Amino acid sequence: MLVHRRLPIVLAALAVILCRSQSGAAQDTLPEKKAVLARLEARRNLEVAAIDRVKAAVVNIHSERTVQASAEPFTNSNRINGMGTGIVIDPRGYIVTNQHVVEDVNLLRIRLVDGSTYNAQVVSRNPELDLALLKIDAPQPLATMPMGTASDLMVGETVIAIGNAYGYEHTVSKGIVSAIKRDVSLNKELSYKSLIQTDASINPGNSGGPLINIHGELVGVNVAIRAGAQGIGFAIPVDNMIRAVAEMFRLRRRGFCHDGLIYQDFLERADDGIVRLVVVNRVETNSPGASAGIRPGDVLVKVGAVKIACSFDVERALLDRRGGDAVPVVLRRQNQEQHVELVLVSADRASAKQTPLELVWSKLGMHLAPIATEQVARINRQLHGGLEVTAVHSESAAAKAGIRKGDILVGLHQWETLTLDNVLYVLNHPDWSNFQPLSFYIVRGGQVRRGWLAQSN
């Protein structure tokens, strides 16, 4: 028979004493813990808070490229490892970095702050600004980088660089803005315009990483260092990066759907600094934007589920949409918030409504006219003809690429442009989005020149 016996009185009393002493010890350590936390919080300065805000949106890039051991055929090839840094700009895994980080690579691996790694693919490039857009397929939404502006940067202002310096992941360095709007030529083939100069330590592997202010806002994309110098690094202003990324997103998105909206980034001064806005410039006639009642001057506040702070927010909000999709849009007009529905149309349907001349003008921003074959053949016997550029829109892709009135367009991508139909073939090609940036060939001053352009708004 099982017997339940009471503890001896001495043991029971001892148990009570132990419980009381343990309870007292816990109470004694509570003030100590509070004191430790208070000391930690006192050390948490603006720089620490800024880094905490953005570090999850900074990724490390590992690349591999194959190089032939010699110029002789059938010789062995060598694999060369490279490194760089990227900035997450969309929760679905879109990352911006430098074009030179991903140029001619065979493999790209992205490592997140939590240590997870993913293969990446290059989805678009802007060689002129040395920027590229990558994509990874992560199982969960990623943290994104807060966007600031370089328009109000002050010489002497504190900035922080984060990157994969020499392979040391998430290395942080601090410095000041040494100069703004600095033009830099690194060699005959590589030059940059209007860069931010900083003395924050930037090393190989930092390329493509963020330069942030003390509020944890992106102000630049680290791009280059001056070899042999100390404390001289450069970054692409974030405002230039935003425009380039918006264009890269647009090229991917507008192969599938059309909205008819022309908009631009706008900076507005507020009590706590500068606020980013996206303002509608123009609405195409008979377009989805016009049908939704959107007007020039409207401020885009939200498109779908995406809050709009800069132009590429609009593009990423519409990136996976297709013709027929109804997208809720929140806009501000005369300080009043309004809700409208933007019903997109397919890119094919939008193009079908335009004449060939209108399509070339809307996509490239130039007017083209036939020219005598002999006029081109006299310059180069291998050329079979071309189209004369009779007008260029000042804000178009053609203008940004340096095309001028009087140039003769003789090729786009890998095809000759003898007639307008040749140009339309390229613009309507199923792989149009993969042609970006689009290479072109013109005749100017008796010489054939090559350049790259991207589709205009």
> At residue 1, does pLDDT exceed 70?
no
R_g of the chain computed on alpha carbons: 29
Q: How many CB atoms lie within 10 A of CB 106?
A: 10
> At residue 368, does pLDDT exceed 70?
yes
| Confidence at 110, pLDDT banded by 50, 70, 90 | very high
Give 98's DSSP letter: -
Ranked by mean pLDDT, the top range of 179-193, 219-233, 247-261 is 219-233
Q: List beta partners, residue 274.
A: 269
> At residue 228, does pLDDT exceed 80?
no
Query: Which of these is catalytic: 62, 63, 124, 130?
Result: 130
Query: Which of these is catalytic: 63, 178, 201, 207?
Result: 207
Q: What is d(CA 165, CA 171) in angstroms, rounded to the nearest whole number?
A: 6
Instruction: Kindly list the structural domains of the chain, giving each domain's residue range(s) and its CATH number in brackets, ordered by start.
Output: 42-68+78-253 (2.40.10.120), 257-347 (2.30.42.10), 354-453 (2.30.42.10)
The string of pLDDT tens digits covering residues 8-29 is 544 444 444 445 545 555 555 7
Query: Which of these is catalytic: 100, 173, 298, 362?
Result: 100
Active site residue 130: yes
What does the pLDDT average to over 123-143?
92
Mean model confidence pLDDT for the chain: 85
> At residue 456, does pLDDT exceed 60?
no
Q: What is d(CA 277, CA 260) in angstroms, rounded to the nearest whole number?
A: 19
Active site residue 272: no
Q: What confidence score (pLDDT) does residue 291 get?
A: 94
Q: What is d(CA 372, CA 383) in angstroms, rounded to the nearest whole number?
A: 12
> For strand 387-392 and strand 261-270, is the pairing parallel, antiparallel, or unpaired?
unpaired
